[in-house]
Amino acid sequence: MSRPDAAIVSRKAASDGCRARIAHAISVLAHAQQPINVAGVARHAGVSRQTVYQHQDLYAEIVHHQRRQQGQPKTQRTLGPHQAVTTKSLTARLHAANTEITDLRRRLAQTDKALIQALGDAASVAAVDDETTELQRHVAELSDRSEASERRSGSQAETIRHLEEDLAAARTENRRLAAHSAPPRIRALD
C-alpha cells in the first residue's frame, strides 16, 4: 500500500471513529433525557463542533432532538418579517406591561382614596370594594401576562444564542472548506 493510500485509510478510520462517538453521544444524551445540542454532543464525544457539522445526517438528528425538546413540530416553520420576535421587542412589551401595572395600581389607590373621602358611608365603601376587586383582578391578569412574556423571552433568547453559535461554526467550516478547495495560485515568471 502506497503512502497516500495509507493516509486516506487512516483519515477514513479516524472519521469513522468520530462518527461512532458522535452517534453514541447523541444516544446517551437522549437516553438520559439531557438537552441535545451541537456543543453538548461535541463535548460528550470529544470532538469539535465542526466535526459534528461535517456529519450532516448526525447533525440533522441533533436538530430533530432539539425540536422535540422544544415542542416544535418536525417541519420547519418560516416566519414572515411581521412575525419575527426579538428579545428587544419582547423586553419592550414586558416593560410596557409593567408600566401599565404600576399605573393601574397608582390609579386604584387614588380612586380608593377619592371615593372614601367623597362618600364616607358604608354603602360607598361597598362600592369601592367592588371596584377595587375589579381593578385588582385586572392588575393580576396583567401581571400574569407579564410573567408569561418574561418566560417566552428567556426561552427565545436561549434559542437565538444556540442558533448564533451554530451559524458561527458553520461559517468557520465554510471558510475552511473554501480555503482548501481554492485552486493553487501560479506566480508569474518575470
In tens, the pLDDT along 36-76 reads 999 999 999 999 999 999 888 899 999 988 888 877 554 44
- Global pTM value: 0.36
Give the Cα separation of 9 and 69 in Å (integer).
38
For a pLDDT cut of 90, what percent of the chain falls above it? 17
| Per-residue pLDDT tens digits for 16-37 | 888 999 999 999 998 888 889 9
Per-residue pLDDT, 77: 46
pLDDT for 126 equals 64
What percent of the chain has a predicted confidence (pLDDT) above 70?
A: 81
85-115, pLDDT tens digit by residue? Answer: 677 778 888 888 888 898 889 999 998 888 8
CA distance 85 to 122: 50
Rounded distance, CA 157 to CA 106, Å? 32
- How many residues in total does the chain contain? 190
Q: Which residue has the higher pLDDT, 19 or 156?
A: 19
Confidence of residue 139 (pLDDT cuts 50, 70, 90): confident
* Sign of the dihedral through C-alpha 27, 28, 30, 34: negative
Instruction: Give the separation between CA 183 and CA 86, rounded to whole angstroms.
Output: 42
More confident residue, 8 or 125: 8
Cell numbers found for residue 9: 485509510
CA separation, residue 156 to residues 16, 142, 160 (Å): 35, 21, 6
